[in-house]
Amino acid sequence: MTPSPVDPQLRLDQRTGWPEELRHLLLRYPREVWTGHANLGQMAQFWLDRHNMFRELTQSLLQATHALREGHVPPDQFRQWFAPRMNFLLGELQGHHMIEDQHYFPVFVQAEKSLVKGFDILENDHEMIHHGLEDLARAAQMLAGAIDGDTPLVMKASDGFADVTDGFLKILRQHLDDEEDLIIPVILDRTEAGLGIR
Protein backbone atom coordinates (compact mmCIF):
# COMPACT_ATOMS: atom_id res chain seq x y z
CA MET A 1 0.00 0.00 0.00
CA THR A 2 1.15 3.53 -0.76
CA PRO A 3 -0.35 5.94 1.76
CA SER A 4 -2.10 9.08 0.54
CA PRO A 5 -1.24 12.53 1.90
CA VAL A 6 -2.80 13.15 5.29
CA ASP A 7 -4.91 16.12 6.38
CA PRO A 8 -2.59 18.14 8.68
CA GLN A 9 -5.16 17.94 11.48
CA LEU A 10 -4.97 14.13 11.33
CA ARG A 11 -1.19 13.94 11.51
CA LEU A 12 0.00 11.82 14.42
CA ASP A 13 1.50 14.79 16.27
CA GLN A 14 -1.77 16.77 15.94
CA ARG A 15 -4.73 14.43 16.34
CA THR A 16 -6.44 13.24 19.50
CA GLY A 17 -8.43 10.35 18.04
CA TRP A 18 -10.38 9.48 14.90
CA PRO A 19 -12.85 11.80 13.17
CA GLU A 20 -16.50 10.77 13.12
CA GLU A 21 -16.41 9.12 9.67
CA LEU A 22 -13.84 6.58 10.91
CA ARG A 23 -15.59 5.77 14.19
CA HIS A 24 -18.67 3.87 13.00
CA LEU A 25 -17.33 0.41 13.90
CA LEU A 26 -15.76 1.69 17.13
CA LEU A 27 -19.18 3.01 18.18
CA ARG A 28 -20.60 -0.47 17.59
CA TYR A 29 -17.67 -2.16 19.37
CA PRO A 30 -16.31 0.25 22.03
CA ARG A 31 -13.28 -0.71 24.10
CA GLU A 32 -15.51 -1.76 27.00
CA VAL A 33 -16.74 -4.80 25.04
CA TRP A 34 -13.36 -5.99 23.73
CA THR A 35 -12.24 -8.04 26.72
CA GLY A 36 -13.93 -11.40 26.65
CA HIS A 37 -15.65 -10.79 23.29
CA ALA A 38 -16.17 -14.08 21.45
CA ASN A 39 -14.54 -12.73 18.27
CA LEU A 40 -11.37 -11.45 19.99
CA GLY A 41 -9.16 -14.28 18.79
CA GLN A 42 -5.59 -15.32 19.54
CA MET A 43 -4.04 -13.12 16.84
CA ALA A 44 -5.84 -10.01 18.07
CA GLN A 45 -4.94 -10.75 21.68
CA PHE A 46 -1.29 -11.31 20.75
CA TRP A 47 -1.27 -8.04 18.81
CA LEU A 48 -2.79 -6.13 21.77
CA ASP A 49 -0.21 -7.72 24.07
CA ARG A 50 2.59 -6.51 21.75
CA HIS A 51 1.18 -2.99 21.89
CA ASN A 52 1.09 -3.12 25.68
CA MET A 53 4.68 -4.36 25.72
CA PHE A 54 5.75 -1.34 23.62
CA ARG A 55 3.94 0.99 26.03
CA GLU A 56 5.53 -0.60 29.09
CA LEU A 57 9.03 -0.75 27.60
CA THR A 58 9.14 2.89 26.52
CA GLN A 59 7.85 3.94 29.93
CA SER A 60 10.53 1.81 31.63
CA LEU A 61 13.27 3.42 29.52
CA LEU A 62 12.04 6.86 30.47
CA GLN A 63 11.84 5.99 34.18
CA ALA A 64 15.34 4.51 34.11
CA THR A 65 16.70 7.66 32.46
CA HIS A 66 15.12 9.80 35.17
CA ALA A 67 16.68 7.52 37.80
CA LEU A 68 20.11 7.97 36.20
CA ARG A 69 19.72 11.73 36.05
CA GLU A 70 18.69 11.85 39.71
CA GLY A 71 21.66 9.73 40.78
CA HIS A 72 19.60 6.71 41.89
CA VAL A 73 21.34 4.35 39.45
CA PRO A 74 25.14 4.08 38.86
CA PRO A 75 26.10 4.76 35.21
CA ASP A 76 27.60 1.28 34.60
CA GLN A 77 24.52 -0.45 35.96
CA PHE A 78 22.31 1.81 33.83
CA ARG A 79 24.28 1.03 30.66
CA GLN A 80 24.00 -2.74 31.20
CA TRP A 81 20.25 -2.46 31.70
CA PHE A 82 19.55 0.17 29.07
CA ALA A 83 21.39 -0.93 25.90
CA PRO A 84 19.70 -4.30 25.29
CA ARG A 85 16.24 -2.90 25.99
CA MET A 86 16.72 0.05 23.68
CA ASN A 87 18.01 -2.21 20.89
CA PHE A 88 15.07 -4.55 21.44
CA LEU A 89 12.56 -1.68 21.22
CA LEU A 90 14.07 -0.29 18.02
CA GLY A 91 14.15 -3.67 16.29
CA GLU A 92 10.75 -4.88 17.44
CA LEU A 93 8.88 -1.72 16.53
CA GLN A 94 10.40 -1.68 13.04
CA GLY A 95 9.50 -5.33 12.45
CA HIS A 96 6.00 -4.87 13.89
CA HIS A 97 5.22 -1.99 11.56
CA MET A 98 6.63 -3.79 8.52
CA ILE A 99 4.33 -6.76 9.14
CA GLU A 100 1.33 -4.46 9.62
CA ASP A 101 2.02 -2.44 6.45
CA GLN A 102 2.76 -5.42 4.22
CA HIS A 103 0.41 -8.11 5.51
CA TYR A 104 -2.37 -6.96 7.83
CA PHE A 105 -3.38 -3.49 6.64
CA PRO A 106 -4.15 -4.68 3.07
CA VAL A 107 -6.45 -7.36 4.52
CA PHE A 108 -8.34 -4.84 6.66
CA VAL A 109 -8.62 -2.35 3.78
CA GLN A 110 -10.05 -5.06 1.54
CA ALA A 111 -12.55 -6.07 4.22
CA GLU A 112 -13.72 -2.57 5.19
CA LYS A 113 -13.36 -0.04 2.36
CA SER A 114 -14.87 2.73 4.48
CA LEU A 115 -11.68 2.72 6.60
CA VAL A 116 -9.15 3.15 3.76
CA LYS A 117 -8.44 6.72 4.89
CA GLY A 118 -7.69 5.49 8.40
CA PHE A 119 -5.19 2.91 7.17
CA ASP A 120 -3.48 5.52 4.99
CA ILE A 121 -3.15 7.65 8.13
CA LEU A 122 -1.71 4.72 10.10
CA GLU A 123 0.87 4.07 7.38
CA ASN A 124 1.87 7.74 7.52
CA ASP A 125 2.11 7.35 11.30
CA HIS A 126 4.65 4.58 10.77
CA GLU A 127 6.83 7.00 8.80
CA MET A 128 6.67 9.56 11.61
CA ILE A 129 7.40 6.88 14.21
CA HIS A 130 10.36 5.67 12.13
CA HIS A 131 11.83 9.20 12.24
CA GLY A 132 11.06 9.34 15.96
CA LEU A 133 12.97 6.07 16.44
CA GLU A 134 15.96 7.57 14.62
CA ASP A 135 15.87 10.57 16.97
CA LEU A 136 15.56 8.23 19.93
CA ALA A 137 18.52 6.14 18.76
CA ARG A 138 20.68 9.27 18.36
CA ALA A 139 19.73 10.51 21.82
CA ALA A 140 20.46 7.06 23.25
CA GLN A 141 23.90 7.01 21.59
CA MET A 142 24.68 10.44 23.03
CA LEU A 143 23.60 9.24 26.46
CA ALA A 144 25.66 6.04 26.20
CA GLY A 145 28.69 8.06 25.09
CA ALA A 146 28.29 10.50 27.98
CA ILE A 147 27.98 7.94 30.77
CA ASP A 148 31.72 7.75 31.46
CA GLY A 149 32.02 11.53 31.45
CA ASP A 150 31.57 14.00 34.28
CA THR A 151 28.26 14.49 36.04
CA PRO A 152 27.12 17.61 34.12
CA LEU A 153 27.68 15.78 30.82
CA VAL A 154 25.63 12.79 31.98
CA MET A 155 22.90 15.12 33.24
CA LYS A 156 22.74 16.98 29.92
CA ALA A 157 22.61 13.76 27.88
CA SER A 158 19.99 12.16 30.13
CA ASP A 159 17.88 15.35 29.99
CA GLY A 160 18.10 15.26 26.20
CA PHE A 161 17.15 11.60 26.07
CA ALA A 162 14.26 12.12 28.47
CA ASP A 163 12.93 15.00 26.34
CA VAL A 164 13.14 12.94 23.13
CA THR A 165 11.56 9.93 24.86
CA ASP A 166 8.73 12.06 26.26
CA GLY A 167 7.90 13.31 22.76
CA PHE A 168 8.21 9.84 21.28
CA LEU A 169 6.00 8.31 23.98
CA LYS A 170 3.27 10.81 23.22
CA ILE A 171 3.10 10.00 19.50
CA LEU A 172 3.59 6.26 20.03
CA ARG A 173 0.75 6.04 22.54
CA GLN A 174 -1.57 8.02 20.27
CA HIS A 175 -0.72 5.74 17.37
CA LEU A 176 -1.20 2.53 19.34
CA ASP A 177 -4.56 3.71 20.70
CA ASP A 178 -5.80 4.85 17.29
CA GLU A 179 -4.58 1.70 15.56
CA GLU A 180 -6.42 -0.46 18.09
CA ASP A 181 -9.58 1.66 17.77
CA LEU A 182 -9.57 1.10 14.00
CA ILE A 183 -8.54 -2.56 13.81
CA ILE A 184 -10.09 -4.35 16.78
CA PRO A 185 -13.67 -3.37 15.82
CA VAL A 186 -13.05 -4.76 12.30
CA ILE A 187 -11.90 -8.05 13.82
CA LEU A 188 -14.85 -8.20 16.21
CA ASP A 189 -17.23 -7.48 13.34
CA ARG A 190 -15.75 -9.88 10.76
CA THR A 191 -13.91 -12.46 12.97
CA GLU A 192 -10.31 -13.51 12.43
CA ALA A 193 -11.42 -16.54 10.42
CA GLY A 194 -13.61 -14.37 8.20
CA LEU A 195 -10.69 -12.04 7.55
CA GLY A 196 -8.29 -14.90 6.95
CA ILE A 197 -5.81 -13.74 9.60
CA ARG A 198 -5.87 -16.63 12.04
How much is the pTM? 0.88
Q: What share of the chain is helix, strand, coil (3-state, %, to 5)?
A: 80, 0, 20
The number of beta carbons lying within 10 Å of the beta carbon of residue 187 is: 24
Of the options 1.10.3470, 1.10.287, 1.10.20, 1.20.120, the CATH number for the domain spanning 20-195: 1.20.120
pLDDT in tens, the chain (198 residues): 455 567 888 999 999 999 999 999 999 999 999 999 999 999 999 999 999 999 999 889 889 888 887 889 888 788 889 889 988 988 999 899 899 888 899 999 999 999 999 999 999 999 999 999 999 889 988 888 888 778 888 888 888 888 898 889 899 999 999 999 999 999 999 999 999 987
